[in-house]
Amino acid sequence: MSEFPKRAGISDILYDEKFRAWVIQFVVIMGTVGLFAWMTSNAIENLAELGITQGFGFLDRTSFYDINQALIEYSSTSTHGRAALVGLLNTLLMACAGIVAATLLGFFVGVARLSSNWLLSKVASFYVETLRNIPLLIQIVLWQSVILTLPSVKNSIDFGGIVYLSNRGTVIPEIEAGEGFVWVLLSFFVGICVCVYNMRRSKKHQLETGEVRSYFWVNVASVTLFPLGVYFLLGSPLDYTLPELSRFNFKGGVTIRTEFVSLWLALSIYTSSFIAENVRGGILAISKGQTEASLALGLTRGQLMRLVIIPQAMRVVITPLTSQYLNLTKNSSLAIAVGYMDLTATLGGITLNQTGQAMECMFLLLLFYLSISLTVSLLMNWFNVKMALVER
């Protein structure tokens, strides 16, 4: 007699691992959505009781407050949306400037910690162990209130009538691009393209023949002499205005505010202490056999570091380096401590207090920071893929 397959009962279904996994995930997702919906509904009801209407229409209202540093045109009669854009640009400026400075300083200190020079190594170790163990907010306030304490405008420090240092910031000449200057920038871009082409050509030739071709002077001429030649042929299309010291302020020039400098220095130095440790760890991850083989081939210490150690160490360093870039970008929100008007100070500070649109302001603030962080991660992941070993 043939046997019929046994039908699955309810108990069999309940004890099935895949079924239980799907049920648990479904319950968690629905619970999260329900909690978020309840929090949103509760917030809307509370705001409605306070007479605060929802929506993003407040971005079109007049802001009625000034911003001490704006990369685009702005005044107190501009809208809250314009103020948020100014704050966003200030945040991006701080993040980019901090990443560049922290990277350069961090790589130098990281390599210095492994130096055979006892004094240099100990100074680098003291730098790292001291700065990374002092809270960032304390360092920001220290730079602003103590280290960068400068005299008043009347008693400002004068560097030949070109640069002035005072408690209002650093005043430098204002440079204005004249007609035709875009061609100078284009020639500089062409020079960079020539450098990239020469480097790829040199690498391809070395892989095929083993011979190293140097295009150093050609590259230098491409990015310096060529743009300079175009600049002078076009009649020097670049104007500048020197700052003039008046009774209470400066006329002309561009002011780099002390708040920006103090925040930039604190973020760069603090983050560089962590990057230095990442670099040191990446270099120590390289086998000593690489060093011995390179020295046996006659490479100098500089060539060893530049051609052998650093390229391999970068594959180890990139991932933690990405985290430090993200930390620097998010830590820039501490700018409000020294009065630097970034996105948190404008949209999440004054605009929120004036309009009372807490939910919308916080949503936009989270969205902007999330977008910046994801963009940094995307670029670093692309760079990581480019640096990864390629199997032949």
Q: Do 372 and 91 touch, CB atoms closer than 8 A?
A: yes
Read off the pLDDT of residues 165-204 as tens digits, 9 standing for 90 and up.
888 888 888 888 878 888 889 999 999 999 989 888 888 8
Q: What is the average pLDDT across 12-21?
A: 72
pTM here is 0.81
Nearest Cα neighbor of 313 from 341, 285, 277, 344 is 285
CATH topology of domain 80-173+242-387: MetI-like fold (1.10.3720)
pLDDT band of 295, cuts 50, 70, 90: confident
For 244, the 3-state DSSP assignment is strand
Q: Do 175 and 240 touch, CB atoms closer than 8 A?
A: yes
In eight-state DSSP terms, residue 79 is B
Please tell me the distance from the alpha carbon of residue 320 to that of residue 279, in angstroms, as a whole number: 9
Q: Do 242 and 162 touch, CB atoms closer than 8 A?
A: yes
Domain ranges for the chain? 80-173+242-387
pLDDT at 189: 93
Read off the pLDDT of residues 180-191 as tens digits, 9 standing for 90 and up.
888 889 999 999
pLDDT at 389: 60
CB atoms near residue 123 (< 10 Å)? 15
Kindly tell me the burial class for residue 314, based on how many C-beta atoms sit within 10 Å of its own C-beta (0-12, 13-18, 19 or more).
middle
Record the tokens describing residue 154, joined without a space.
């009347």
Dihedral sign from CA coordinates of 359, 360, 364, 370: positive
